[in-house]
Structure 1
């Protein structure tokens, strides 16, 4: 399937605005709700241009044996209109909850009937309205960036994922050393590992995660509950 130059331009321009330096959660959520109107978001970020959800789903599938996928309970963080869940279903996963700060995006996901629960909430340092050890996996693709998920909110993903479960983060590689994550994100990940909250499984760079930009895939295995962070 080919993608028109007009669609490529819209995708590039909207992504640039979404990740504008100085962005804030409220502004970001409002922007995504606007972008989701009609079929704009799904058309602009079609699989030809945005491979993140496919990459994220494969990373999660590689962690779980096929026999475990049907029962695995997954939290899709910054779920948007459901791209990650759509790809996870192809690997045999069936149980998903969506977490997103944009009600407009969640409404689109509802229309697709992808998730069991829809949680309209921003992931930050505040405690999520989710019980500890609820999920077998928390995964996000595209949720990390300026005005998006802050680096020091990862504790909350550790809290809601069961011991032995997976936290999978897929993001644009250049963002690791950009603005709000520079010299903060990976050191924070290392700190959580040193403190016994999780163990790094892998860090992998992938080509053409979105448009011409490479991505990076982080996988962490959550360690036993006594080391849970608050």
Structure 2
């Protein structure tokens, strides 16, 4: 199925509130891996995983917006680390749980305070969460709060969302709190993708907490 013809993808890009997200992903959880990830040749999680491993990321890692666990599937073969996951949808996390890749999974809303102590994680990863209709740049403050000093943060940001939602301004505002920033543009979908979204891109933001 082409990504632009998948009504769940269209609905995801049109989300307005956390409550909207909970409703959509509760309905999508059971078929997400098959009807979206596999059929659209979704590869963004692989980009994030390889960037995190290549930058020397260590655990414990928190996978933010873990969904059904696609990023953990990509990351687990690359590093030896304990991986936790959080997502706004308990139904998506239930799908992730059966894969047996996570140490701990918990529901969390990035637009609010996560149930995590300051400086808990040496690594933060996220794929597909900072995108149209989802989480904006203000969530960077919460990610920095829960990251240990010198901890590595690697996350994808949809390129259109990066431009429209003010990520550049936010990154400028946290320069004193981070080091080693890089932004790499990558394709969201692989060579088997077709249709209007096949060439969509994301920026992989990689930086350390100072």
Give me the TM-score of the superposition, normalised by structure 2: 0.89
- Bigger RCO of structures 1 and 2 (CA < 8 A, at least 6 apart): 2
Post-superposition shift, 1:177?
1.8
Counterpart mapping for 1:191-206 below 5 A: 191-193=173-175, 196-206=176-186
State the SS of the aligned residue for 1:202: strand
The 1-side partners of 2:143 and 2:87 are apart by 14
The 2-side partners of 1:170 and 1:219 are apart by 9
**Structure 1 residue aligned with 2:194:** none
**Structure 2 residue aligned with 1:28:** 21
Which one of 45, 54, 64 corresponds to residue 62 of structure 1? 54
Which one of 141, 145, 148 corresponds to residue 162 of structure 1? 148
**Structure 1 residue aligned with 2:37:** 45
Change (3 A) 1:11 1:83: farther
The 8 Å contact of residues 209 and 215 in structure 1, kept in 2 or not, is answered as: no
Change (3 A) 1:208 1:109: closer
State the SS of the aligned residue for 2:149: strand
Give me the TM-score of the superposition, normalised by structure 1: 0.81
The 8 Å contact of residues 57 and 84 in structure 1, kept in 2 or not, is answered as: yes
| Residue 221 of structure 1 pairs with residue 203 of structure 2 | no
State the SS of the aligned residue for 2:2: helix
| Residue 73 of structure 1 pairs with residue 60 of structure 2 | yes
Post-superposition shift, 1:107?
0.6
**Structure 2 residue aligned with 1:228:** none
| Residue 177 of structure 1 pairs with residue 163 of structure 2 | yes
| Residue 137 of structure 1 pairs with residue 129 of structure 2 | no
- CA RMSD in angstroms comes to 1.9
Give the number of the structure whose alpha-carbon radius of gyration is greater. Answer: 1
| Residue 103 of structure 1 pairs with residue 90 of structure 2 | yes
Which one of 123, 137, 150 corresponds to residue 110 of structure 2? 123
**Structure 2 residue aligned with 1:3:** none
Structure 2: segments with no counterpart, 5+ residues: 191-197
Q: Higher mean Cα deviation, 107-116 or 76-85?
A: 107-116
State the SS of the aligned residue for 1:112: coil
